Amino acid sequence: MDTELMVGDEIPEFTFMQMTADGPAPITTKELFGGKKVALFALPGAFTPTCSAQHLPGYVNNAAALKAKGIDTVACLSVNDVFVMDAWGKSASVGDNVLMLADGNADFTKHMELDLDASGFGMGTRSQRYSMIVEDGVVKALNIEEGVGLDVSSAETMLGQL
C-alpha cells in the first residue's frame, strides 16, 4: 500500500482497460481525468447484487443530471476484466451514459488503499465501494462506504456535492 487517497490529492498515473468498437483498449488516468470533471464510482464486482440492482443503475439513471451539473464523464470502476465490464455494461444498458473501466489486476485500487479482501466469499481482492469527483486530476470529493450498504457513494449523494 503506497498511499491513502484523500480530498485534495492528485490521481497518480495508472492505466485502466475499456472496451471500444475496436476491442479492449487502455485508458490512462491522465486521459480520463485531465482537463475534465469526472464522477467516478467503484464497487466490489460486476453482476453482484447491490452493484447490479442499485449502484450502477443509480448512475445510469442520473447520468444526465450529473452532466447537467458539469460532469464530463461518469465512470464505473471495478476489479474485473474488461470483457466482464463490457458484458455487464451491455446487460445494464449503460450505453454512452457510463464509461465501464476495468482495474483487472487491482493495481490502482491497491495503490489508493481502496482494496477489499473478499476472499472469504471466493472473490479475492476487490474494490471497496466508493465514489469521487475528480477535477483535472484532483480529488474534490471522496465518499467511501463504511459498511456493506449504499449510503454515501450513490449518484444521489454525488448530485448533492455538485
Catalytic one of 17, 51, 112, 134? 51
> What pLDDT sits at residue 2?
42
For the whole model, what pTM was predicted?
Answer: 0.89
Domain 15-160, CATH among 3.90.930.12, 3.40.30.10, 3.90.226.10, 3.10.20.30:
3.40.30.10
Q: Quick: pLDDT tens for 17-45.
A: 999 999 999 999 999 999 999 999 998 87
**pLDDT tens for residues 38-86?**
999 998 877 776 666 677 888 999 999 999 999 999 999 999 999 999 9
> Residue 51 catalytic?
yes
Which triple of cell numbers denotes residue 128? 471497496
C-alpha grid cell for residue 36? Answer: 475534465
Q: How far is it, in rounded angstroms, from Cα 26 to Cα 16?
A: 6
User: Does 53 or 15 have the greater pLDDT score?
Assistant: 15
- Note whether 110 and 1 are within 8 A (CB): yes
Residue 1 has pLDDT above 50, yes or no: no
Domain ranges of the chain: 15-160
Choice between 11 and 4, residue whose per-residue pLDDT is larger: 11
* Buried residues in 40-62 as b, exposed as e (16+ CB within 10 A): bbbbbbbebebbbeebbbbbbeb
User: What's residue 120's pLDDT?
Assistant: 72
